Structure 1
Amino acid sequence: MTIDTPRKGLSTFDLKMIGIILMFIDHIHQMFVPFGAPDWLDWFGRPVATLFFFVSVVGFSHTHSKKKYMSRLYISMVLMTFFTFILEKLIGYDQVVLMNNIFRDLFIGTLMMFAIDLFVDGKHTSNLKKILAGIGLFLLPILLSLLVPLLMSSPMIVENRLAFLAISALVPMLLLAENNVMVLLIPLLYLARNNRRIQCLMIALVAAVYFFLGSTQWMMVFAIVPILLYNGQKGKGMKYFFYIFYPAHIAILYLLSAFLFAH
């Protein structure tokens, strides 16, 4: 029996932990802005989405069941939407708005990766239905985004927040994603999953766009450092840790901020 010896560099577990720590610091800034939290705390969060996008590409590429992987993210996306809505309603803390739902970004990304697989399989087997299904599935979150202005302009939907909440919770619209069009980086990273240098070049190019737009999101470029150090190993298992930690730490920080503000 052979035992895999750890390689030098960072494992998938390490990348997740780096992302979680940076995300936590970023959310401290988000929740404590009413108390004058310094803007530089927000800088720590700029590489986070990119790290999680990269990890999702790795996870989707190696999972035993891509449909189960997607199902977990979809259920988490829906639950997170209702969770933040209920939390805001119960606490009534208007100083902080909860728009956090990385699960939406990751689900849309996996949907597009699944669409790429479907398209490639269709090309290899000359199956027109699969080719068309792949194209349709890839475009779906983009096309569904066209519903956003229609929903926002509908008096019936605007007046009934629960109706908008239900639609936004269940329907994977790209424009409602926390990182918006930056989510398209996920399928790009997936296409280049066998070439780390090209992946890092893509990240650098997207960062350059944000730099010229004057957005601090250009700091996502620093995600390249741990990604280049990735050794291809899974590391310690933490399959469900993030699914629990993500909503839990947001709730704790939000409740603490609301409590301190009230007192």
Structure 2
Amino acid sequence: MFIDHVHQMFAGAGVPVWVDWFGRPAAPIFFFMAVEGFIHTRNQKRYMFQLLVGFWIMNLGSPIVKHFFEVGNLALSNNIFTDLYIAVLAMYGIQEISVGRRTHHSKQILLGGLAIIAPILLSLLALGLIANPKTMMFAANLAMVITTIMLAENGLLLYIGVFFYLFRNNRLLQCLTVLVFAFLDAGINSGFAFTGLFTSNTQWMMIFAIIPILLYNGQKGRSMKYFFYLFYPIHIWLLFILASLMGVGE
């Protein structure tokens, strides 16, 4: 992830395209670990709220950094918390539907369904508001507060996390999920042109996420509870500021 963002911020300074290759497996690994975090946390609602807070912090801090610094025409729109929150919310919805069906609690089933479809409905609402010049600014402000798929870094790819959750007891099916999403995403980005699938497009390289997923033994490592929440926004802002001070993109 860090190397991927180094390429993003310093591509204008001559950082070669191949540096970006190392960042392709990052997203599937994040979603895989989000599943592990969700199923092992003692408080699932707090876990989801922490991701939501991360989303808000990025939306608050990035415009401030962008106001004082600039790197050519590069937009500072990174916010993986959007993707992770929507994916984990869908996991929560699936869990609630499953429990509700076992216990015959219709309200729990309804709550689970709402958790799954709410981001989709909000995305459609945001699209409708953006299409109207009179409500475009309102939609932009609304997107700073609510999570929508249309503004997620990985778009519909974020639902790879949902399949990781559904296949949480079958590591081979999780790896197959990586393969399917990798080539589907690469195909969409290259217009399903074979020549562009493996040359101009590098999304297929996320298949290398299979290696750490297969090597994962399910055991908890050294506790670094809030490291990611701090490292993610700080390293992005610092790299952007450094690139600006170096005059990248001018």
What TM-score do you get using the length of structure 1 for normalisation? 0.86
Contact 1:34 1:95 in 2 (8 A): no
* Match for residue 208 of structure 1 among 169, 183, 186: 183
2:61 to 80, 83, 96: 83
1:105 is matched by which residue type in structure 2? D
User: Is residue 109 of structure 1 aligned with residue 83 of structure 2?
Assistant: no
Map of 1:57-76 to 2, 5 A cutoff? 57-76=35-54
Counterpart code for 1:177: A
Matching residue of 2:222: 236
Q: What amino acid is the match of 2:6?
A: I
Q: SS at 2:23's partner residue? A: coil
Tell me how far 1:95 sits from its aligned partner.
3.0
1:46 corresponds, among 21, 24, 27, to 24
Cα displacement (A) at 1:157:
4.0
Give the corresponding residue for 1:184. Answer: 159
Residue 210 of structure 1 and its aligned partner are, at CA, apart by: 3.0
Aligned residues of 2:98 and 2:109 also touching (Cα < 8 A): yes
Q: For residues 191-240 of structure 1, what are the alpha-carbon distances to aligned partners after superposition, in whole Å with 9 as ceiling and x for unaligned?
A: 11111111111111111223443342111110000100001111101110
RMSD, aligned CA: 1.6
Letter of the 1:170 partner, please give it.
Answer: V
Quote the sequence identity (%): 44
Q: Equivalent residue for 2:212?
A: 226
Residues 126, 139 of structure 2: 8 Å contact kept = no
TM-score by structure 2 length?
A: 0.90
1:24-35 → structure 2 map (5 Å cutoff):
24-35=2-13
| Counterpart position of 1:3 | none
Report the alpha carbon displacement of residue 149 of structure 1 after superposing the two structures with TM.
2.3
CA contact (8 A) 1:81 1:165 kept: no
- CA-CA distance at 1:41 after TM superposition: 1.2
| Unmatched 5+ stretches in structure 1 | 1-22
Pick one of 112, 126, 142 that aligns with 2:120. Answer: 142
88-97 vs 197-206, greater mean Cα deviation: 88-97
Larger mean CA deviation between 202-211 and 108-117 belongs to: 202-211
Question: Residue 9 of structure 2 contacts residue 71 of structure 2 at CA under 8 Å; is this kept in 1?
Answer: no
Task: Find the aligned partners of 1:151 and 1:35 in 2 and give their Cα distance.
Answer: 37
The superposition leaves residues 1-26 of structure 1 with CA deviations (integer Å, 9 ceiling, x where unpaired) of xxxxxxxxxxxxxxxxxxxxxx1110
Cα distance in 2 for partners of 1:255, 1:24 equals: 15
SS at match of 2:6: helix
Taking the aligned partners of 1:42 and 1:151, their CA distance within structure 2 comes to: 34
Equivalent-residue separation in structure 2 for 1:177 and 1:125 (angstroms)? 34
Deviating beyond 4 angstroms after TM superposition, the runs of 4 or more aligned structure 1 residues are none
Q: Deviations over 1:123-149 (max 9, x none)?
A: 101112221221221111112111232
- SS of alignment partner, residue 168 of structure 2: coil
Query: Does 168-177 or 235-244 show the bigger shift?
Result: 168-177
Does residue 253 of structure 1 match 2:231? no
**What's the counterpart of residue 154 of structure 1?**
132
Q: Aligned AA for 1:181?
A: L
1:165, distance to aligned residue in structure 2 (A): 4.1
Native 8 Å contact 1:118 1:133 kept in 2:
yes
